[in-house]
Amino acid sequence: MYRGWCQAAYEHELDARLVPVAVGPTPLVLARTPQGVRAFDAACPHRGAHLGYGGRLDGDAIVCPFHGKRIGLGAGAGRYRVREHPVLGYGGMVFVQPGAGPDNGFGAFLDDLAASHLFVPGFSRSVAVRADLVVENAFDATHFRPVHGIGNEPLFTILPGEPALPGEPTQTGAFTVTGTFVLPTSPWQRASAGTRSVSVPFVARAFSPYVVVSRLGGDHPYVTITAATPRPEGGCVIRFSLAIPTATHAAMPAERREGLYRYLMEHSLAGIEQDVPIWEHLVEPSAPGYDDADGVVVAFREFRESFRESCSPPARRMEG
């Protein structure tokens, strides 16, 4: 298990004032409060009842379903309190940072993205693979051609911290690579008549071992947000969403854009399904036989290991 940001839920899944969720073996409860969605440890400090199952939100406390004790929320006085965790909410996505950890500018990046893009919440898919390996896939350049059939083997460059493309925000601490994909033309990636492929700049940023934000640029850019959250029983839940430039969204008739967004979602799910048989039958060697083409993957794994250590930024609450 690693620390860092993960997507705990979509907002449409929060169908009660208290909703139980989990990040790996860590049980959490999401609370809808006047201040927004907040996240807390779910285990009652009295006798361990899960506050998300039968607990009742009452002002600044949760009433435990087992013995009726009032459990305070976050820091403060009182014998029984549960720890609060940072939360970010954007476009129907709810991100949580259990136990804190490196922020790597994730909130600031989403703020900047929200200023110029429309978020489109997507789908969930459970997979029997470690969550960090799902995110690692975005940086595994040599798998895109044999698994996904793109027209080239992209050469990825690791960026230090400057904007990946003109006009993009600078991020602090995210693991970022850039390259170029040669993709077949499609309803979204259009090209001139008679052209069967298009070269598209690609940027991928991991803000934690569990969240990667990728941008396909060119004449028809869009952003994907892929979050893989560990499940208590093993494996993970992949949640996939889009961010579409607001100018692109506004320029299209509603019927056309809904069809195109549906196409992007279906195409992305199909790409994940291509990976699933490999993920679910992966036999990881104790000593991988890396070659020169694996340098970016090795660097991502070093980045991933930095999340074994904790830091404690202040909690941010989801508005709305």
Looking at residue 316, its pLDDT comes to 35
For 106-307, the fitting CATH number among 3.30.1390.20, 3.90.380.10, 1.10.3720.10, 1.25.40.10 is: 3.90.380.10
Q: Please say whether the beta carbons of 55 and 70 come within 8 A.
A: no
Looking at residue 308, its pLDDT comes to 83
Looking at residue 219, its pLDDT comes to 86
- The residue to which tokens 């989990």 are assigned: 22
Could you count the other beta carbons within 10 Å of the beta carbon of residue 171?
22
- The residue to which tokens 């059939």 are assigned: 149
Classify strands 70-73 and 81-82 as parallel, antiparallel or unpaired: parallel
Looking at residue 186, its pLDDT comes to 87
Ordered strands of the 93-96 beta sheet: 6-10, 93-96, 87-90
Domain positions in the chain: 6-96, 106-307
Per-residue pLDDT of the chain (320 residues; tens, 9 = 90+): 899 999 999 999 999 999 999 999 999 999 999 889 999 999 999 999 999 999 999 999 999 999 999 999 998 888 899 999 999 999 999 999 998 777 889 999 999 999 999 999 999 999 999 999 999 999 999 999 999 999 999 999 998 765 555 555 555 689 999 999 999 988 888 766 667 889 999 999 999 999 999 999 988 899 999 999 999 999 999 999 999 999 999 999 998 999 999 999 999 999 999 999 999 999 999 999 999 999 999 999 999 998 985 544 433 333 32
CA 292: distance to chain centroid?
28
Q: Fold match between 6-96 and 106-307?
A: no
Which CATH code is given to the segment(s) 6-96? 2.102.10.10
- The residue to which tokens 């320029």 are assigned: 251
Looking at residue 312, its pLDDT comes to 41
Residue 213, strand partner residues: 205, 225
Gap between the Cα atoms of 180 and 19, Å rounded: 41
CA 40: distance to chain centroid?
19
Q: Please say whether the beta carbons of 231 and 126 come within 8 A.
A: yes
Rounded-to-10 torsion of CA 206, 212, 218, 222: -140
Looking at residue 166, its pLDDT comes to 52
Gap between the Cα atoms of 6 and 207, Å rounded: 9
